[in-house]
Structure 1
Amino acid sequence: MFKFYKILFLNTLVMGTLIAISSYSWFSMWMGLEINLLSIIPLLTDPKNIYPSESALKYFITQAMASSVLLFSIIMSMNLNEFLPQNSYFWMLMMMNSALLTKMGAAPFHFWFPEVMEGLNWANSLIMLTWQSIAPMVLLMYKNKMTMFVTFIIMFSAMISGVQGINQVSLRKILAYSSINHIAWMIASMLNSLTIWPIYFIVYSVITSNIVVMFKQLNVFYLNQLFNSMNESKMMKLLFILNFLSLGGLPPFLGFFPKWLTINNLAANNFFAISLILIIFTLVTLFFYLRVTFSTLVINSNETLIYQKSKNHFLIFFTNLISLAGLIVCTLILNYF
């Protein structure tokens, strides 16, 4: 049963994000972020989560700290001429950007993200991976003037997500480090274009949603649970593997499309070093995606010889078909522009 308080707080969660991204003043944007934060805390304390109190408390403390820094930097930048010398604007801008990067979980401000994810169920994990990145990402786009600082963040996020993700056996932590890697790509796509990152975000959200829905359907949380989890449906196993390849950005799948646009944009504006680092460390993330998929594919597992008619999950198959065939559609559409 879907409880009333969940509907209420989901609505205010969406409303907080919309207030933040559509405001004209920084103070209203901060207020939208606070509404968003206070709405997700009751959802994180859901008893279906594995560690509800721990995740909610870690998330609240980190976000409250980031909000305090953001509000402080907004107030100080408004009164900059009265109290502070002119060169302080750089530091105010750095504080503001750091607070927003902490809110979205970009490295090196990512310390809270995998820990919070580890205590959640799959429904809340999906909100954390997708929706919660929208408001900070848009606000960062408004203040995207510090190219050197942002470049450092992109490189750090790509490296940390690649290196730390290898060592994980929890599927939620793997998706959390995957998200940090994609955040690096999204911030890189913002450097010279404001139109690529929404495309990237939508594609990333579709692929992640497909993967999370499959994990929720199979009720798995760790790598060793995947061995026998997909023996009933060969189609589900195939879609699962193809989705992870799509998330890694391999060419025949939709996940390659936004990476293609981002690399094209970076190369056109002479950001060759960032492109190289992003590509190299995305290959590292692809390695642990393959480890997840190979555990379902090549490890010996007990499979019954008696045919059992499994349920056809039409919605899962349909969304996967759109996701996996999307690159062909996008390429055909772009040819007409």
Structure 2
Amino acid sequence: MLKLYKILFFNTLILGTLISISAYSWFNMWIGLEINLMSIIPLMKSHNNSYPAEAAIKYFITQSLASSIILLSITMTYHSNDFLPTQSNLMMMLNSALLTKLGAAPFHAWFPEVLEGLNWMNSLLLLTWQKLAPMILIMYNMKMIVFFSFIIIISAITGGIMGINQTSLRKLMAYSSITHIAWMLASMMSLKNIWFNYFIIYCIISLNLIYIFFILKLYNMAQFFSKINNNKTINFFFILNFLSLGGLPPFLGFLPKWLAINNLIYNKFYFISLILILSTLITLYFYIRITLSTLTLSAQTILLNEKSSSNFMLIYFNVLILNSLFICTSMFNFL
């Protein structure tokens, strides 16, 4: 049952993000981020969450620390003549705080831990909507190319390597998100429209995957291997969506990576392109390892299933999304 306070705080959550991305001054931007932070904390209170209080406290401490650094850097920027730090150091402070809010490496330690204590609906909010405001604010002042190149490389390597031995699906999605953050920051460096396309496609694929996890109530690999084979249709769509999240060419997830790499090489960011491609190969390795294990003979399959319900909306939405790469490339050819 949807409670009234959740509807109220969900609306203020959206309002806080919209205030941040449409603010004319840094101070109004900070106010929007605070409204957003104060709105998501009550939404984390749920009986379905594993550790609601622990996740909420961890999230609040890290986000309030980042907010205080943002406020400090804004105040010092207004009075930069009276303080010792130069303008570039202040911008580095501001960008570091925004990257902490985003969950990019090396400021990522809170992100998998908070996600582990939440249910799938709160995890979807944290993986998609909560990234919108910090991303757009980073886009406004993305002038420190060396600093952001370092963040992109560290995020790509961390997300790829740390996701290999994960047994929790929520932590797997968290480290996958860190890799995608690196791709999004890299797409910002070349062309802003590519970032927007990447973000929308990432949100759609994450929604598909998390909806499958939500309806099957999957949280770790043991549950995953025992339940995913009961419904062959959902198993098939899960495999395709997982490969799409990794960016395998026939699927929609390949399109934004294709555009990002194309523009990075055009702008002569060769080393960043190499690191991003290698990290994506690592993530594809453990995605394929998970998907292949559901298809092999070692997977447990229940042959006599009492009730086999097919979810029409899930099938329709997945077929539409998985064919979107063909639709997009066809549109580009005719434009």
Could you state the TM-score of these two structures normalised by the residue count of structure 1? 0.97
- Residues 1:84 and 1:282: Cα distance change in structure 2 (over 3 Å): same
- Residues 1:307 and 1:102: Cα distance change in structure 2 (over 3 Å): closer
Partner of 1:160: 158
What are the within-5 Å matches in structure 2 for residues 184-263 of structure 1?
184-263=182-261
d(CA) in 2 for partners of 1:212, 1:243: 10
- The correspondence for 1:150, drawn from 145, 148, 151, is 148
1:235: how far off? 1.2
Q: Give ranges in structure 2 of 5+ residues lacking alignment.
A: none
Q: Is the contact made by 2:209 and 2:238 (CA closer than 8 Å) also made in structure 1?
A: yes
Q: Are 2:5 and 1:5 equivalent residues in the alignment?
A: yes
* Farther off after superposition, 298-307 or 206-215: 298-307
Q: Is the contact made by 1:223 and 1:295 (CA closer than 8 Å) also made in structure 2?
A: no
Partner of 1:140: 138
Partner of 1:64: 64
| Matched length | 335
CA deviation map 1:207-236 (0-9, x unaligned):
011000001111111111112212332111
Partner of 2:35: 35
Q: What secondary structure does 1:80 align onto? A: coil
Name segments (4+ residues, structure 1) moved above 6 Å: none
1:305: how far off? 3.6
Q: Is the contact made by 2:247 and 2:253 (CA closer than 8 Å) also made in structure 1?
A: yes
- The correspondence for 2:276, drawn from 275, 278, 292, is 278
Q: Is the contact made by 1:254 and 1:326 (CA closer than 8 Å) also made in structure 2?
A: yes
d(CA) in 2 for partners of 1:253, 1:301: 25
Q: What's the Cα RMSD here?
A: 1.2
What are the within-5 Å matches in structure 2 for residues 23-172 of structure 1?
23-81=23-81, 83-84=82-83, 88-172=86-170
Partner of 2:292: 294
CA deviation map 1:269-311 (0-9, x unaligned):
0001000000001110111112222232225344344364511
1:46: how far off? 1.7
1:165: how far off? 0.8
Q: Is the contact made by 2:41 and 2:56 (CA closer than 8 Å) also made in structure 1?
A: yes
- Residues 1:268 and 1:302: Cα distance change in structure 2 (over 3 Å): closer
Q: Is the contact made by 1:227 and 1:299 (CA closer than 8 Å) also made in structure 2?
A: no
d(CA) in 2 for partners of 1:287, 1:303: 24
Q: Give ranges in structure 1 of 5+ residues lacking alignment.
A: none
Q: Is the contact made by 1:108 and 1:156 (CA closer than 8 Å) also made in structure 2?
A: yes
* Farther off after superposition, 39-48 or 292-301: 292-301
Q: Identity rate of aligned residues, in percent?
A: 56
d(CA) in 2 for partners of 1:145, 1:299: 52
- Residues 1:16 and 1:107: Cα distance change in structure 2 (over 3 Å): same
CA deviation map 1:79-125 (0-9, x unaligned):
113x035x610100000000000000000000100000000111101
Partner of 2:21: 21
Q: What secondary structure does 1:2 align onto? A: coil
Q: Is the contact made by 1:226 and 1:296 (CA closer than 8 Å) also made in structure 2?
A: no
d(CA) in 2 for partners of 1:307, 1:90: 63
1:336: how far off? 2.3
Could you state the TM-score of these two structures normalised by the residue count of structure 2? 0.97
d(CA) in 2 for partners of 1:210, 1:143: 32
d(CA) in 1 for partners of 2:232, 2:94: 49
